A and B are shown apart, each in its own frame.
Chain A
Amino acid sequence: QVQLVQSGGGVVQPGRSLRLSCAASGFPFSNYAMHWARQAPGKGLEWVAIISFEVNNKWYADSVRGRFTISRDNSKNTLYLQMDSLTTEDTAVYYCAKSQTEGGGPFDYWGQGTLVRVSS
């Protein structure tokens, strides 16, 4: 069965960096686009970034563009989110999610989520 297991996260000071990982199994990882989304405490869902199945194409939400970098290692079936210049507004539960297609599509499987708290 499809599994997305997240790691990373924790408490970090403003201006610092953090990297999240998402290990995928149960499907041909290299065939599907992958996403990161987030949810601030008590708030709704916000899409963060997408990376195409072939690695070359990446898109970001305006709120993170220039600070966050999405990447993937298809040989390791792992998705990453490098988060730099973090601010308190980046505090949220971060989810990785699988696209239903090789490109943009609905998110048919989600990781368990990992909390990132930006605080001094």
Chain B
Amino acid sequence: EIVLTQSPGTLSLSPGERATLSCRASQSVSTTYLAWYQQKPGQAPRLLIYGTSNRATGIPYRFSGSGSGTDFTLTISGLEPEDFAVYYCQQYGRSFTFGQGTKLEIK
């Protein structure tokens, strides 16, 4: 099983700042099979990024993804108030696994 480890566990930032979230895999993941989701309290997750760097439908340009091999990054440029949430990475190349999540909170 591919284990995904996200860091940091909690990230405290202010609106307007840049957020950098990390996802490290226990073995190499093809860039084709790495996604990011956003989840707000009481809501279902929402797909943000797939294939490492492709924005899903309706996702603002401030969300971007990068990485390869075992290290992947979600960057949010210019945080908006609605961006404070929990973010999960997911690999879907060998079965399906999620990271444990990063909570992005308002500083």
Please list the residues of chain A having a beta carbon within 8 angstroms of any beta carbon in chain B.
Answer: 35, 44-47, 50, 59, 61, 95, 100, 104-113
A44-B88, A45-B88, A47-B95 are known contacts. Are A108 and B100 too (CB-CB below 8 A)? no
Question: Can you show 28 pairs from A to B with CB atoms below 8 A apart?
Answer: A44-B98, A44-B99, A44-B101, A45-B45, A45-B88, A45-B90, A46-B98, A47-B96, A47-B97, A47-B98, A59-B95, A61-B95, A95-B44, A100-B47, A104-B92, A106-B35, A106-B47, A106-B56, A106-B90, A107-B35, A107-B47, A107-B90, A108-B47, A108-B57, A109-B47, A110-B44, A110-B46, A112-B44
Is the CB of B50 closer than 8 A to any CB of chain A?
yes
Number of A-B residue pairs, CB cutoff 8 Å, is 51
User: Interface of chain A, helix or strand or loop or mixed?
Assistant: strand
